[in-house]
Amino acid sequence: MAHKVIFDTDPGVDDAMALLFLHRHPEVDLLGITTVFGNAAIEITTRNALFLKREWNIPAPVAKGANETFDPARPHAGWPTFVHGDDGLGNIGVPDDIGIDPDPRPAHQFIVDTVRANPGEVTIVAVGRMTNLANALKAAPDIAGLVKQVVIMGGAFYCPGNITPAAEANIHGDPEAADFIFTAGWPIVVAGLDVTTKTHMKRHFLDDMAVRGGKDVELLQRVSDFYIKFYAHAVEDGMLVHDSCACVYVVAPELFTLRSGPIRVVCGGIADGQTIQKPDDMQFGASLWDGMAPKQVMVDVQSDKVLDLLSRTIAG
């Protein structure tokens, strides 16, 4: 039976590849795309999601989400234009008017309605800030018991962050939202930098995918050029496919090693946005992790197999 998926995203170059993977994978039934601010403002990430939907003929609706942090008093974190470009898709010149309307509901309401309509069946894959999830859970706490699972790209557990030494960008952009969803009683699996920084896609690998995949993958290749140049400091002529790791987990969980334990997020101070797990197999004194339901953190990955699955699914 296909995995019913809601993709919560801030496209975003690596978000684009992840979306094409979900769209093309035969065991995924993509029910909806919900947008969130992060790699750019919500008007831009939503426009980009509609653009990718149009270019790739994706039937799933796009619902526009949050442009404000869960705690509105939190100062604005800024846009990573140096990573994803001014247009959020590598400065390829995305048109302003896509000619498709978003779903009339806000993203968090789309999530609530879709989860309630498919009890026990929906996997939410969230690869931007956790704001839409937090808003959905706050509005409808019952969805915690109705989702199949929540798979997240975010956090840095046993390694440094990428936006500060302590924090990963998706969590750093809305730490209060992240702590709210991590401490709720729903099943969460997290693809953090521990595994995504081990998953390098080289330019020649993407070029080969584009040769096989034709114009749809050529779009991905054009979108990725700016991002590959940004990643020169970390990957030799290649990039990190963060968001795709979370999507691959949905269909191939055996490619990842998990560690179980509750997760808290630091909200404020020098380590703002840091994600900290209390591993179930270790003993500590009393702490603010006590009584919280365990979550699963990916600590290792068979990255060659992840890349191979991405390539075969996206480009044939």
**Interacting partner of 162 out of Ca ion, ligand RIB, none (Cβ under 5 to 8 A depending on kind):** ligand RIB
Residue selected from 88, 102, 106, 128 as contacting ligand RIB according to rule CB under 6 A: 128
Burial class of residue 283 in the structure, from the number of CB atoms within 10 Å of its CB (0-12 exposed, 13-18 middle, 19+ buried): exposed
Stretch that binds ligand RIB, among 6-14, 64-72, 212-220, 287-295 (CB under 6 A): 6-14
Distance of CA 292 to the CA centre of its chain: 23
The least distance separating Ca ion from the CB of residue 1, rounded to whole angstroms, comes to 27
The least distance separating ligand RIB from the CB of residue 225, rounded to whole angstroms, comes to 16
Among 4, 8, 43, CA closest to 134: 8
**Interacting partner of 169 out of ligand RIB, Ca ion, none (Cβ under 5 to 8 A depending on kind):** ligand RIB
12 sits near ligand RIB (criterion: CB under 6 A): yes
> In angstroms, rounded to a whole number, what is the distance separating the alpha carbons of residues 19 and 217?
12
User: In angstroms, what CA-CA distances link 82 with 78, 211, 213?
Assistant: 11, 28, 28
Q: What is the chain's length? A: 316
Q: Which residues are catalytic?
A: 242
Indicate the residue whose CB is closest to ligand RIB: 169
The least distance separating Ca ion from the CB of residue 237, rounded to whole angstroms, comes to 22
Give 10 or 179: the residue with its C-beta nearer to ligand RIB.
10
Residue selected from 3, 200, 242, 278 as contacting ligand RIB according to rule CB under 6 A: 242
What does the binding site for Ca ion look like in residue numbers (CB under 5 A)?
Answer: 10, 12, 15, 127-128, 243
The least distance separating ligand RIB from the CB of residue 199, rounded to whole angstroms, comes to 12
Residue selected from 8, 87, 168, 179 as contacting ligand RIB according to rule CB under 6 A: 168
Cross-strand partners of 4: 29, 122
247 sits near ligand RIB (criterion: CB under 6 A): no
Instruction: Give me the 22-41 binding string for ligand RIB, x by CB under 6 A, dash otherwise.
Output: ----------------xx--
Which tokens sit at 167?
């924090």
The least distance separating ligand RIB from the CB of residue 286, rounded to whole angstroms, comes to 32
* Residue 77, number of CB atoms within 10 A of its CB: 18
155 sits near ligand RIB (criterion: CB under 6 A): no
The residues, any chain, with a CB within 8 Å of residue 297's CB and separated by 6 or more, are 155, 157, 189, 190, 192, 194, 258, 259, 260, 261, 263, 277
> In angstroms, rounded to a whole number, what is the distance separating the alpha carbons of residues 280 and 192?
18
The residues, any chain, with a CB within 8 Å of residue 18's CB and separated by 6 or more, are 7, 9, 125, 127, 241, 243, 244, 246, 247
275 sits near ligand RIB (criterion: CB under 6 A): no
Query: Under the rule (CB under 6 A), what is the footprint of ligand RIB?
Result: 10, 12, 14-15, 38-39, 127-128, 153, 162, 168-170, 242-243
